[in-house]
């Protein structure tokens, strides 16, 4: 069993997969799939056909094979990157980059690419995705996620690997930030708000999406220092003892990424929420601002367009559930032989020497 990597990480090994193009009418190209090794790094830069996925929520270097490969191969440094490479005659011709996300160690497909000249790249991509699914299952992962632009060449490949679409997402962006606070109802998120936000999520988001995302209340915890390069913040509009609207921002050096939830009967507060959040973000260095709008939130696209946002990307969200072989117990009857003896005659023991004086004892 080969792993194709010079780094010892304690990750389960992934068997080297050998496959070929399926169409017998085309020239056959045999390739193998394995984990990244140091000898693959330079050649990965020559791959021209690339897709950067899971955007814009992740850092810009997430789906890049060279940067992710360096983080994975560096010794003595734990990495959440998983890079798999397709090779033809020991030369890399394709890659797939996955990222492991906390707290439940779910995997997300961050980037994929191939370079076979005039040959069909679909078999390479399919084999890379399948190799990632197998590796995730070996690490105990229960779910894998993949975002892909609608109507892209990747959609059939991702779905052929067992990924199921569960939501549609529109990414709107702008560099214009409002500087005016419009409402005193908007406040910062507190630690005690986590459960109320989760209740808003449970009451607002369709159940198939909830099942696919499998979020717990801890997902809404705000970490001011989310990572070395990102910070988080949240804002709330209350309705009595309940949360009527919520927006969270993850800010990196290159962009702010905003997500929101609004209760069905409180859609009128959304413009106030957006204006106040943008006003607070304007105090930071200028950068691109993205807002993620799910398909079941279509009514909020127009207020964002009116504020100067434009549609940047539309993508489909997919989930893949890993499976494990389960052996059902086989019921069987085992017969244990039992020796049955005649019951001994009941008698009282005697501790006297000589003949017993008790006639019932049977002594003569």
What is the DSSP annotation of 220-266? G---TT-BTTEEEEEEEEEETTEEEEEEEEEEESSEEEEEEEE-GGG
H helix intervals, the chain = 41-44, 65-73, 122-138, 154-160, 194-204, 207-213, 270-281, 301-306
Give the right CATH number for 171-317 from 3.40.630.30, 2.40.110.10, 2.40.50.140, 1.20.1260.60.
3.40.630.30
Strands 30-35 and 17-20, sheet pairing: antiparallel
- Longest C-alpha distance within the chain, in Å? 119
Task: Please name which of 304, 77, 272, 266 lies closest in space to residue 176, comparing C-alpha atoms.
Answer: 304
Q: Do domains 17-162 and 171-317 have the same CATH topology?
A: yes
pLDDT digits (tens, 9 = 90+) for 95-113: 999 999 888 899 999 999 8
Comparing 67 with 124, the larger pLDDT belongs to 124
The model's pLDDT over 186-225, given as tens digits with 9 standing for 90+, comes to 999 999 999 999 999 999 999 999 999 999 999 999 876 6
Residues 6 or more apart in contact with residue 338 via CB below 8 angstroms: none
Domain 17-162 indexed as CATH 3.40.630.30: yes
pLDDT level of residue 12 (50, 70, 90 thresholds):
very low
pLDDT of 40 reads 87
Token pair for residue 175? 């560099």
Tokens of 319: 């989930």
All structural domains of the chain with their residue ranges: 17-162, 171-317
- Separation of CA 287 from chain center: 27
In the predicted structure, residue 9 carries a pLDDT above the cut 50: no
**Mean pLDDT, all residues of the chain:** 81
Residues 258-285, mean pLDDT to the nearest whole number? 92
The Cα–Cα gap between 96 and 82 comes to 8
Model-level pTM greater than 0.75? Answer: yes
Q: Which region among 59-63, 159-163, 328-332 has the lowest average model confidence (pLDDT)? A: 59-63
Q: Which of 29-33, 99-103, 125-129, 154-158 has the lowest mean pLDDT?
A: 29-33
């Amino acid at each position: 069993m080969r792993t194709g990597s010079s780094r010892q990480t304690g990750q389960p090994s992934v068997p080297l997969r050998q496959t070929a193009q399926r169409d017998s009418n085309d020239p056959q190209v045999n390739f193998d799939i394995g984990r990244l090794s140091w000898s693959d790094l330079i050649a990965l830069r020559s791959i021209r056909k690339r897709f950067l996925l899971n955007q814009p929520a992740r850092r810009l270097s997430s789906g890049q094979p060279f940067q992710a490969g360096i983080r994975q191969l560096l010794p003595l440094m734990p990495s959440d990157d998983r890079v798999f490479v397709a090779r033809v005659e020991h030369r890399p011709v394709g890659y797939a980059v996955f990222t492991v996300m906390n707290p439940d160690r779910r995997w997300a497909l961050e980037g994929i690419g191939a370079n076979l000249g005039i040959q069909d790249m679909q078999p390479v991509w399919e084999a890379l995705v399948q190799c990632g699914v197998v590796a995730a299952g070996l690490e105990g992962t229960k779910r894998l996620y993949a975002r892909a632009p609608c109507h892209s060449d990747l959609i059939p490949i991702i779905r052929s690997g067992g990924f199921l679409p569960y939501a549609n997402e529109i990414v709107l962006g702008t560099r214009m930030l409002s500087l005016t606070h419009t409402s005193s109802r908007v406040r910062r998120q507190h630690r005690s708000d986590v459960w109320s936000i989760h209740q808003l999520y449970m009451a607002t988001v369709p159940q198939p999406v909830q099942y696919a995302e499998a979020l717990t209340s801890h997902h809404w915890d705000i970490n001011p220092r989310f990572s070395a390069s990102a910070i988080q913040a949240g804002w709330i509009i209350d309705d009595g003892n309940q949360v009527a609207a919520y927006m969270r921002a993850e800010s990196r050096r290159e962009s702010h990424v905003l997500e929101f939830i609004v209760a069905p009967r409180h859609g009128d507060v959304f413009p106030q929420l957006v204006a106040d959040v943008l006003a607070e973000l304007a105090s930071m260095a200028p950068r691109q601002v993205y807002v993620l709008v799910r398909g079941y939130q279509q009514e909020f696209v127009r207020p964002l367009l009116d504020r100067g946002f434009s549609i940047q990307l539309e993508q489909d969200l997919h989930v893949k559930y890993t499976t494990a072989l389960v052996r059902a117990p086989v019921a069987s009857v085992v017969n244990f032989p039992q020796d049955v003896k005649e019951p001994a005659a009941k008698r009282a023991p005697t501790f006297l020497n000589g003949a017993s004086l008790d006639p019932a004892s049977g002594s003569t």
